[in-house]
Amino acid sequence: MPSFTYTSAVDGGRAVIRGRGYLSRAGGEELEREVQRLLGEGVRSFLVNLRDTDLINSVGVSILIGVIEQVRQHGGELAFSELTTVNEEIFRIMGLHRHARLLREDGDAPAGEVKA
């Protein structure tokens, strides 16, 4: 369980951020800064891949909610992909699925990507 790290790449106007490790307050804030930076560069479409984020706490998720709000205020959209089972459960308990799409795979089509 290393501390949270991420990679970020922009391709075709969409930013793909891949997180790894423990998404706590510090990790959430790092991710928030990265999204803010990309928003400043004009990016409006975000995909946060959490396949390798094996642990999340409620503070980290709460920060993600704020990130979603910021993206929306800029007219953008943000989706999460490849959540672990328990992380998806946490997202649903905290209501993130009402604000952002949860994709099974990065490349899932919009119509079929939302996990029921």
Residues of this chain that interact with another protein (CB under 8 A) are: 1-3, 22, 24, 26, 55-59, 61-63, 65-66, 84-86, 89-90, 93-94
- Bridge partners for 19 per DSSP: 6
Cα–Cα nearest to 52, from 82, 91, 93: 82
**Nearest approach, Cβ of residue 13 and another protein (Å):** 30
**Nearest approach, Cβ of residue 68 and another protein (Å):** 12
Enter the tokens of residue 97.
């699925």
Enter the tokens of residue 68.
């979603």
Residue nearer to another protein on the CB measure, 14 or 21:
21
